[in-house]
Amino acid sequence: MKPALWALPVALFVAMPVVAQDGPPPPPEPQTVEVVLETTKGDIVLAIETERAPITAANFLRYVDEGRLDGTVFYRAMKLDWGEQPNGLIQAGTQNNPKLTLPPIAHEPSTVTGVKHIAGAISMARYAPGTASGDFSILLRELSSMDAKPDGKDEEERAGYAAFGHVVKGMDVVFAIHAAPIDPEKGSGWMKGQMLADPVRIVDARRVASKP
């Protein structure tokens, strides 16, 4: 007895091998270079975004490679009273020391690099856009207000700050520096009351050796 015609396609379908449909491969991780800041409160390891923020990353790595950050200090702890506590940032660098500070670099906004001000981000300190040189901040929490905003009301908002990496190890050290005592008389203008009574020294800043 012949099988019913409607059964034939079903049998053929069941017998056919199933071929997996692979999607496109995931994009490669952006290239980074790890740097360790050995401080008197412990080590902070940073992933520097050499691919996405090439100008800012190259500038920071030059300071590291030439020993310009060795002996400098974390001198500022900005405390914010909103969001998850503690909140704010810490700041370190050459503090315009003419023997250590290199010429300013071009500004790389987050809208160009895609590097955002997430918790643990490292970002260049500056005055006007294009004045960043040898000082940087590390964020305790996400501060999207520091990202570039193309529709911002003024140049500052439109430019934002230049984030160029993030902490991969040592956030406990970042929090410890932020919690250090403040000298209420140190600093001037809007930075008064944000300066550490005993700045935390960067003993050594160096690249982390690549794994073989």
Give Dmax (Cα) for the chain: 102
In the chain, what percentage of residues exceed pLDDT 70?
88
CA 143, chain centre distance (Å)? 11
Q: What is the pLDDT of residue 209?
A: 83
Which of 116, 120, 144, 157 is closest to 30 using CA atoms? 116
The two three-digit tokens of residue 119, written as one number? 């918790």
Which tens digits make up the pLDDT trace of 126-160? 999 999 999 999 999 999 999 999 999 999 999 99
Amino acid at 166: H
CA 94, chain centre distance (Å)? 18
Q: What is the pLDDT of residue 21?
A: 55
Phi, psi values for residue 172, rounded to 5°: -60, -35
The two three-digit tokens of residue 93, written as one number? 């660098």
| Side-chain-side CA neighbours of residue 122 (13 Å) | 29
Q: What is the pLDDT of residue 16?
A: 47
- Global confidence as pTM: 0.86
Q: What is the pLDDT of residue 149?
A: 96
Angle 75-78-83 from CA coordinates, rounded to 5°: 150
Q: Which residue has the tokens 């929490």?
A: 141
Q: What is the pLDDT of residue 24?
A: 75
Asked if residue 66 lies in contact with residue 181, where contact means CB atoms within 8 angstroms, the answer is: no
Q: What is the pLDDT of residue 6?
A: 38
Residues 6+ away with beta carbon under 8 Å from 125: 91, 93, 132, 135, 136, 137
The CATH classification of domain 29-207, taken from the options 3.40.50.2000, 3.30.460.20, 2.40.100.10, 3.100.10.10: 2.40.100.10
Which tens digits make up the pLDDT trace of 52-79? 999 999 999 999 999 999 999 999 999 9
Domain segments of the chain: what residues?
29-207
User: How many CB atoms are closer than 10 A to CB 145?
Assistant: 10
Quote the radius of gyration of the chain (alpha carbons, Å): 25
